[in-house]
Amino acid sequence: MKLKSLLILVCFGGLIAWGASCKHEPDGLVNNPPGNNPPPTGGEQPCSADTVYFQNQILPLLISSCAKSNCHDAATRQDGIELTSYATIMATGDVRPGNPNGSDLYEVLNETDPSKIMPRPPSTPLTAAEKQLIFRWIQQGAKNNACNDCDSSQFTFSATIQPLVNSNCRGCHNPNFQSAGLDLSTYNNIRSIALNGKFMGTITHAAGFPAMPRGAAKLSDCRIAQVRKWIEAGAPNN
């Protein structure tokens, strides 16, 4: 008897709580409409080696590996999946914060079936290090976080320019997938777009150049300054 009334009490209490939360729902929806893109947090803070940052490490990788035309860019949205921003990535339902092995976004990277693996051939699979990054980001809660990892006084090819091209450009400009016939996986090819003006023209969104990285936010002023200084120094292989 006692247990029964306790159960009724709990259920009834639950109903009241549910009713109360329903009443607040319209407010909540107004304040946080579906698809709202929460601004990233922490963009001014220095990066910590223990944390994976969505804006710095994950978004550029997903855009250049997955958000190509005919794939998961805003125009194509293959299978209804658009991988161009935090909001569209989370809206797929394929990221379960804290649970990388239960997240399709991570699972498809490891498929062995060529008709299921992402990115699809002829694109090459992500490297083990890139997969690990996505795994850790989801494990750490799949947050929309950012950090300040740019120092405009640093601009060597090996430490700055090549990593920048790798994470922001190479997914669409590699030997297997050469957008505009351009492979940016070698020093010589990066040097030639540096010297013919196309590197600066595309990343500063100058008139007469297609805006790069295509479909993504403009690179930060600090990154653009690094590229400009490296080119002004003669685009050395240093």
CA quadruple 18, 23, 25, 27: dihedral sign: negative
- For ligand HEC, the binding residues in 59-78 under the rule CB under 6 A are 63-64, 67-68
119 lies in the site for ligand HEC, by CB under 6 A: no
Rounded to a whole number of angstroms, the minimum distance from the CB of residue 164 to ligand HEC is 7
User: What residues contact residue 48 under an 8 Å CB cut-off, 6+ apart?
Assistant: 147
56/100 with CB nearer ligand HEC: 56
A 10 A CB-CB count for 209 gives 15
61/147 with CB nearer ligand HEC: 61
- Which residue pairs from 138-141 have beta carbons closer than 8 angstroms and sit at least 24 positions apart in sequence? 138/95, 138/96, 138/97, 138/98, 138/99, 138/100, 138/103, 138/105, 138/106, 139/98, 139/99, 139/100, 140/51, 140/52, 141/97, 141/98
Rounded to a whole number of angstroms, the minimum distance from the CB of residue 60 to ligand HEC is 8
Q: Which stretch binds ligand HEC (CB under 6 A): 23-31, 88-96, 100-108, 177-185?
A: 177-185
Q: Are 56 and 146 in contact (CB under 8 A)?
A: yes
83 lies in the site for ligand HEC, by CB under 6 A: no
Question: d(Cα 193, Cα 218) in Å, to the nearest integer?
Answer: 18
Here the tokens at position 166 are 């790798």
58 lies in the site for ligand HEC, by CB under 6 A: no
As a whole number of Å, the CA-based R_g of the chain is: 22
58/63 with CB nearer ligand HEC: 63
- For ligand HEC, the binding residues in 149-168 under the rule CB under 6 A are 168
38 lies in the site for ligand HEC, by CB under 6 A: no
Exactly one of 194, 202, 226, 235 binds ligand HEC (CB under 6 A); which one? 202
Rounded to a whole number of angstroms, the minimum distance from the CB of residue 117 to ligand HEC is 19
203 lies in the site for ligand HEC, by CB under 6 A: yes
Q: Which stretch binds ligand HEC (CB under 6 A): 4-12, 27-35, 139-147, 175-183?
A: 175-183
Here the tokens at position 90 are 């989370």
Name the closest residue to ligand HEC (Cβ): 169
Exactly one of 93, 163, 175, 210 binds ligand HEC (CB under 6 A); which one? 210
Q: Are 214 and 172 in contact (CB under 8 A)?
A: yes
Question: d(Cα 85, Cα 88) in Å, to the nearest integer?
Answer: 5
| Interface with ligand HEC (CB under 6 A) | 63-64, 67-68, 168-169, 171-173, 179-180, 182, 193, 198-199, 202-203, 209-210, 212-215
